[in-house]
Structure 1
Amino acid sequence: MTETYYQVDGSRERDDNISKTARKEEMTALQKLGQELTELSKDQLAQVPMSDKLRDAIKEYKRLTSHGACRRQMQYIGKIMRGEDEEPIRSKLDQFNGVNAEATAKLHRIERTRLQLIEKDEAVTRFFNEYPNADVQHIRALVRNARKEHEQAKPPKSFRELFQVIKEAIEGKSAAQQEMPPEEDESDES
C-alpha cells in the first residue's frame, strides 16, 4: 500500500519505503529541534541559519502565553521545520551547547584554583610552577588580602580580583601554547 503525505508547500509526495511510525518519529524530532530553537536568546537565534518564515514563527511562539496556543504554535514550527535544512541548524545548536559547556568548565576550574590558593600555601607554589609568567608578588598579595577579608568579614574585593588575575594567567598560557610553532624532531636532521 502506498501512502500519500503532504509537504509544507501543499504538494503531494508518495513514499513507499517510510512507515507511518518512522515518519511520525521524524516529525517529532523536528519539533524537538524547533523547541530548542525557541529556547535560544535573540542574539543566538540571529546566528542560526533558517528561513524568515521559521524565524517569525519562533518569535510568535515566544510572544504567546496560553498553553494551548504555545502547543499549536510548536506544532506549526515543527511543520515549517520539515522544509528546512536541519544540518546547519543542528550544527549551530551544537556549537552553542559546546561553547557553553566549555566556558562553564573553564570558570569552574578558575574558581577551584582560587579556593585552593586561599586555603593552602602549597597551592600557590604549584600555581607558579604551572604558570611561570604570572605576577608572583601581585598574586601573593591578593591571596593574603583575600584571607584577611574572609577572616574580618569584609567585602571580597581581593577575592574577586584574584579570580580575574588567575583567569588572565590561564588564558595567557593557553594563548602562548597556541602561538608556539610545532617542535622539530632532531632525529630527522641526521
Structure 2
Amino acid sequence: MRKPKPYDYSDPRPPSRSQKKRDSSALQVLGGKLAELPDSALKRLALPPRLEEAIREYKKLSKHEAKRRQLQFIGALMRETDTDPLAHAVADMEAGNRSQAREFHIVEALRTALLSGDESGLEDLVALAPESDQAEVRSRIRMLVRNAKAEAAKNKPPRSSRTLFRLLRELRAGGALSQGEAEDNEGDEPGDEPGYEQDDDEQDGHDAPLKTSF
C-alpha cells in the first residue's frame, strides 16, 4: 500500500476533503500516543492547558465510544498547536523505550545463560570492567550464580538472581561498579547455609558476598 502523500501547505489551493481526513487521523494518532505517556512526561512537554486537560480526561475514560469522541476532540485541539515538537518528543521517547526494552532482554538472556551453567559470555562481561576489578567481578558473578541456584532449590526469594541482574546491567552500562554496589558489599559475611559457597579467591576473607536486598 502506497504511503499517502503529505499535503503541500505552500499550495494556494485549499486541501481536499481526503487530505483533511488524513490530517485529522494523523493528529488523533499523535494524540493517542501522547495519552499513553505518563503524567511526568506530559508535564515536561509543556502542552497548552486545554490540550493537556483533554488528554488527562481521556486517560480517565473507560468506554470505547467515549474515548473515541474524546480523541477526536484532542485531534481538533491539536490543529491549533505546533505538533512538530510533540511528534519529535514522542518519537524520541518511543525510541528510548525500545532501546531500554532491548537492553533488558539482553541482560536477562545473559543471566539465564549463566544460571543454566553457560559461561561462554562470562569473559566478555568481565572484560567490560576496569582491569583492576576483573578478578573480583568474575568471582562475584560466579558466587551470585551459585547463591541464586541455592535459593531456587530451596524456593527462597530470588535475591541473588536480582542482584546478579543489576550487576550485569551495570557492567554493560559502564563497566565499573557503582558506589552503592560497592557499599552493599561492606560488612557482609559469607552465607553459612549449604550451597552458599565462596570462591577460592574469597576464602581468605578479602571478598564477601553482596547483600541481596532488592
- Tell me the TM-score normalised to structure 1 length: 0.74
1:49–1:89 CA contact under 8 A, matched in 2: no
Distance, in Å, in 2 between the alignment partners of 1:173 and 1:47 is 31
Distance, in Å, in 2 between the alignment partners of 1:55 and 1:130 is 44
2:125–2:168 CA contact under 8 A, matched in 1: no
Q: Give the 3-state SS of the residue equivalent to 2:121 in structure 1.
A: helix
2:128–2:171 CA contact under 8 A, matched in 1: no
| 2:86 equivalent in structure 1 | 89
Matched, 1:37 2:37: no
Matched, 1:62 2:59: yes
| 2:158 equivalent in structure 1 | 156
Matched, 1:47 2:44: yes
Tell me how far 1:73 sits from its aligned partner: 1.9
Distance, in Å, in 2 between the alignment partners of 1:156 and 1:60 is 40
Q: Which of 140, 144, 152 lines up with 2:146 in the alignment?
A: 144
* Identity fraction in percent: 32
Tell me how far 1:173 sits from its aligned partner: 3.0
Closer/same/farther in 2, CA of residues 148 and 21 from structure 1, 3 Å limit:
same
| 1:121 equivalent in structure 2 | 119
1:143–1:162 CA contact under 8 A, matched in 2: yes
| 1:99 equivalent in structure 2 | 96
Larger strand fraction of residues: 1
- Tell me the TM-score normalised to structure 2 length: 0.66
Matched, 1:25 2:44: no
Tell me how far 1:148 sits from its aligned partner: 2.8
The one-letter code of the counterpart of 1:48 is: L
Tell me how far 1:156 sits from its aligned partner: 1.8
Aligned residues: 161
| 2:76 equivalent in structure 1 | 79
| 1:183 equivalent in structure 2 | none
Larger helix fraction of residues: 1
Question: Cα deviations across residues 53-111 of structure 1 (Å, max 9, x unaligned)?
Answer: 11111122223344433322221111111111011100110111011111111111111
2:107–2:165 CA contact under 8 A, matched in 1: yes
Q: Give the 3-state SS of the residue equivalent to 1:169 in structure 2.
A: helix
Q: Which of 162, 168, 172 lines up with 1:170 in the alignment?
A: 172
Tell me how far 1:152 sits from its aligned partner: 4.1
Bigger drift between 165-174 and 39-48 goes to 165-174
The one-letter code of the counterpart of 1:121 is: E
| 2:204 equivalent in structure 1 | none
2:148–2:160 CA contact under 8 A, matched in 1: yes
Distance, in Å, in 1 between the alignment partners of 2:64 and 2:120 is 56
Distance, in Å, in 2 between the alignment partners of 1:160 and 1:65 is 36
Which sections of structure 1, spanning at least 5 residues, go unmatched?
Answer: 1-14, 175-190
